[in-house]
Structure 1
Amino acid sequence: MRARLALLVAAVSVLTLAAFLVPLALLVRTVAEDRATVRATADAQSLVSVVGTADPETIRLTVEQLAAESGRPVSVFLPDGTVLGAAAPRTPAVALAERGRSLTAESARGREVVIAVQGRPDGTGVIRTEVPRAELTAGVTRSWLVLALLGVLLVLIGLAVADRLARTLVRPISELSAVSHRLANAELDARVAPAGPAELREVAGALNHLAGRIQVLLAQERERVADLSHRLRTPLTALRLEAESLRDPKDADRVTAAVDGLERAVTGLIQQARWRSPAAGPAVADAAAIVAERVAFWSVLAEDTGRAVTLDLAPGPLPVAVPADELAAAVDALLGNVFAHTPEGTAFGVRLALDAGQVVLAVTDEGPGIPAGTVRRGASPAGSTGLGLDIARRAAQAGGGRLELGSTPDGGAEVLLTFGPPAA
Structure 2
Amino acid sequence: MRARLALLVAAVSVLTLVAFLVPLALLVRTVAEDRATVRATADAQSLVTVVGTADTATIRLTVEQLAAESDRPVSVFLPDGTVLGAPALRTPAVALAARGQSLTAESERGREVVIAVQGRPDGTGVIRTIVPPAELTAGVTRSWLVLALLGVLLVLIGLAVADRLARTLVRPIGELSAVSHRLANAELDARVTPAGPPELREVAGALNHLANRIQVLLVQEREEVADLSHRLRTPLTALRLEAESLRDPQDAARVTAAVDGLERAVTGLIRQARWRAPTAGAAAADAAAVVAERVAFWSVLAEDTGRAVTLDLAPGPLPVGVPADELAAAVDALLGNVFAHTPDGTAFAVRLAAEAGRATLTVADEGPGIPPDTVDRGASTAGSTGLGLDIARRAAQASGGHLALRTSPSGGAEVRLELGPPKP
Q: Tell me if both proteins adopt one fold, taking TM over 0.5 as the criterion.
A: yes
TM-score tier by shorter-chain length is 0.7 to 0.9
When residues 94 and 320 of structure 1 are mapped into structure 2, their CA distance, relative to the original with a 3 A threshold, is same
- Report the alpha carbon displacement of residue 160 of structure 1 after superposing the two structures with TM: 3.5
Amino acid at match of 2:87: A
- Counterparts of 2:31 and 2:98 in 1: how far apart (Å)? 29
Cα-Cα RMSD: 3.8
Gaps of 5+ in 1: none
2:37 is matched with which residue?
A: 37
Contact 1:283 1:324 in 2 (8 A): yes
Equivalence map 1:88-107=2 (5 Å): 88-98=88-98, 101-107=101-107
Q: What are the Cα deviations for residues 176-210 of structure 1, in whole angstroms up to 9, with x where unaligned? A: 23332333343323332333222112211211110
- Counterparts of 1:398 and 1:179 in 2: how far apart (Å)? 19
- Report the alpha carbon displacement of residue 31 of structure 1 after superposing the two structures with TM: 1.0
Please state whether the residue corresponding to 1:125 is helix, strand or coil: strand
- Counterparts of 1:335 and 1:15 in 2: how far apart (Å)? 73
When residues 277 and 372 of structure 1 are mapped into structure 2, their CA distance, relative to the original with a 3 A threshold, is closer
* Percentage of pairs with the same residue: 76
With 166-175 and 101-110 compared, the bigger mean Cα shift is at 101-110
Pairing partner for 1:296 from 290, 299, 319: 299
Please state whether the residue corresponding to 1:72 is helix, strand or coil: coil
Equivalence map 1:317-332=2 (5 Å): 317=316, 319-321=318-320, 322-332=322-332
Please state whether the residue corresponding to 2:190 is helix, strand or coil: coil
When residues 412 and 292 of structure 1 are mapped into structure 2, their CA distance, relative to the original with a 3 A threshold, is closer
- Report the alpha carbon displacement of residue 56 of structure 1 after superposing the two structures with TM: 1.5
Contact 2:299 2:309 in 1 (8 A): no
Gaps of 5+ in 2: none
Amino acid at match of 2:234: T
- Report the alpha carbon displacement of residue 313 of structure 1 after superposing the two structures with TM: 1.4
Please state whether the residue corresponding to 1:378 is helix, strand or coil: coil
Please state whether the residue corresponding to 2:414 is helix, strand or coil: strand
2:376 is matched with which residue?
A: 376
1:221 is matched with which residue?
A: 221
When residues 164 and 33 of structure 1 are mapped into structure 2, their CA distance, relative to the original with a 3 A threshold, is same
1:72 is matched with which residue?
A: 72
When residues 370 and 163 of structure 1 are mapped into structure 2, their CA distance, relative to the original with a 3 A threshold, is same
Q: How many residues align?
A: 408
TM-score w.r.t. length of structure 1? 0.81
Q: Is 1:309 the equivalent of 2:308?
A: yes
When residues 163 and 73 of structure 1 are mapped into structure 2, their CA distance, relative to the original with a 3 A threshold, is same
Please state whether the residue corresponding to 2:113 is helix, strand or coil: strand
- Counterparts of 1:342 and 1:243 in 2: how far apart (Å)? 23
- Counterparts of 2:333 and 2:309 in 1: how far apart (Å)? 18
Equivalence map 1:177-188=2 (5 Å): 177-188=177-188
Please state whether the residue corresponding to 1:405 is helix, strand or coil: strand
Q: What are the Cα deviations for residues 54-110 of structure 1, in whole angstroms up to 9, with x where unaligned? A: 332232233234334433321112233321112334445434544555432334443
Contact 1:223 1:273 in 2 (8 A): no
With 124-133 and 355-364 compared, the bigger mean Cα shift is at 355-364
- Counterparts of 1:280 and 1:95 in 2: how far apart (Å)? 99
Please state whether the residue corresponding to 2:138 is helix, strand or coil: coil
- Counterparts of 2:145 and 2:314 in 1: how far apart (Å)? 83
Amino acid at match of 1:48: V
Please state whether the residue corresponding to 1:126 is helix, strand or coil: strand
1:62 is matched with which residue?
A: 62
- Report the alpha carbon displacement of residue 167 of structure 1 after superposing the two structures with TM: 3.0
- Report the alpha carbon displacement of residue 390 of structure 1 after superposing the two structures with TM: 0.7
Please state whether the residue corresponding to 2:373 is helix, strand or coil: coil
- Report the alpha carbon displacement of residue 20 of structure 1 after superposing the two structures with TM: 0.5
Q: Is 1:169 the equivalent of 2:169?
A: yes
Amino acid at match of 1:289: A
TM-score w.r.t. length of structure 2? 0.81
- Counterparts of 1:78 and 1:196 in 2: how far apart (Å)? 81
Contact 1:294 1:332 in 2 (8 A): no
